[in-house]
Structure 1
Amino acid sequence: MLDLLRGSRRRGMAGGHFRSNVWDPVLILAQILCMQSFFYTSLGLWSSVIGSDLFGGVDRSLDQVFNNANLDILDIIGRTAVIAFALNSLTCAVGMWYIVQRTKQCLDFATTMYFIHLVSCTVYMGRVPQTVSWWVVNILCLALTTVFAEFLCMRTEMRAIPLNSAPRADL
């Protein structure tokens, strides 16, 4: 998958500019697929580690990820799920920094990632999530993912380009 991403990036370089104005749907779809896979993998790991290891009584199931009733802040299981979602948003920001690498696209990819999660939760539960806590947690995690990913990408994009100022010897 990463070879596909790298190959598409090379094709997208026109005239020495990184993805100057080239529409590359293969690259975009591959990045969306990678980010969604990264989202669910890291959320599953965080839910497993936080829910099972720290608070031993939480069963591992898909309900931890897809059921809106598990994001109830008033009980201990809901708090562990909220912590897992918050840590996942930071982890996904790092993944976005590595996979997307563009500050301008962080909001687009984060919104797409959480929209696909909304659709997945709707399909899993058979209805749109109806709890206020689910919406608040996911909107805050969307904002956290976007801001942190933009911060990381901007630091990389704004890095100084070293120029060799030594005198040339071949004159």
Structure 2
Amino acid sequence: MITLQCMYYVGLGFWICFLDIVTGQVLSLDQLFAYEAVHIKDMRGRCVIGSYIINSLFASLLLWYFVQRTKQCLDFTCTVHLFHLIGCWIYNSAFPHTLSWWLLNTACVTVTCVCGEFLCIRTEMKAIPLSLSPKADL
């Protein structure tokens, strides 16, 4: 769990930094934790939203690599985002109350879980040979 949480923040930090450099925005820790940073009013807010969405795809790859079980994808995804909620709550000294923050994080949980489950189930199904011919001569 600690690995997923750390890699989640490494990925999110990387994507925010990358998009800030590309668009010429000023890098700030608020982009990771401040719920007011999630908006579509300007390029800075759109970069934050884009970073979260891209990081959801990255997190699904993390689920596939580290968890490798379809049934556990939802648990790990919700736990990572629950810890992110707690981190945002502590950072802002207030519970996140903006609709955009909640919609974005709900979408990210959904994308991460569905894509992670898709990748894991493909790997699980690949390991099961479904051949109709007998493998042993009796």
TM norm structure 2: 0.92
Which segments of structure 1 move beyond 4 Å, counting only runs of 4 or more?
none
Give the 3 Å change call, closer, same or farther, for CA 160–35 of structure 1 in structure 2. closer
Give, in angstroms, the shift of residue 165 of structure 1.
3.8
Indicate the residue corresponding to 1:55 in structure 2: 23
Runs (5+) with no aligned partner, structure 2: none
Instruction: State the SS of the aligned residue for 2:28.
Output: coil
> Among residues 76, 88, 97, which one is paired with 1:109 in the alignment?
76
Pair 1:136 & 2:98 matched:
no
Instruction: State the SS of the aligned residue for 1:72.
Output: coil
Kindly tell me the number of residue pairs found equivalent between the two proteins. Answer: 135
**Alignment RMSD:** 1.7
Give, in angstroms, the shift of residue 75 of structure 1.
1.4
Trace 1:17-166 onto structure 2 (pairs within 5 A).
32-52=1-21, 54-56=22-24, 58-161=25-128, 165=135
**Which is higher, the Rg of structure 1 or of structure 2?**
1
C-alpha distance in 2, partners of 1:51/1:165? 57
C-alpha distance in 2, partners of 1:62/1:131? 18
| Percent of aligned pairs with the same amino acid | 42
Give, in angstroms, the shift of residue 166 of structure 1.
7.6
User: Which structure is higher in helix share?
Assistant: 2
Letter in 2 for 1:134: W
Higher RCO (Cα < 8 Å, 6 or more apart): 2
C-alpha distance in 2, partners of 1:166/1:82? 55
C-alpha distance in 1, partners of 2:127/2:60? 22
Runs (5+) with no aligned partner, structure 1: 1-31
C-alpha distance in 2, partners of 1:73/1:146? 24
How far does the alpha carbon of each residue in 1:138-169 deviate from its partner, in whole angstroms, 9 at most, with x for none? 000000000000000000001144589486xx
Letter in 1 for 2:7: F
Give, in angstroms, the shift of residue 60 of structure 1.
1.5
Letter in 1 for 2:92: M
Letter in 1 for 2:72: Q
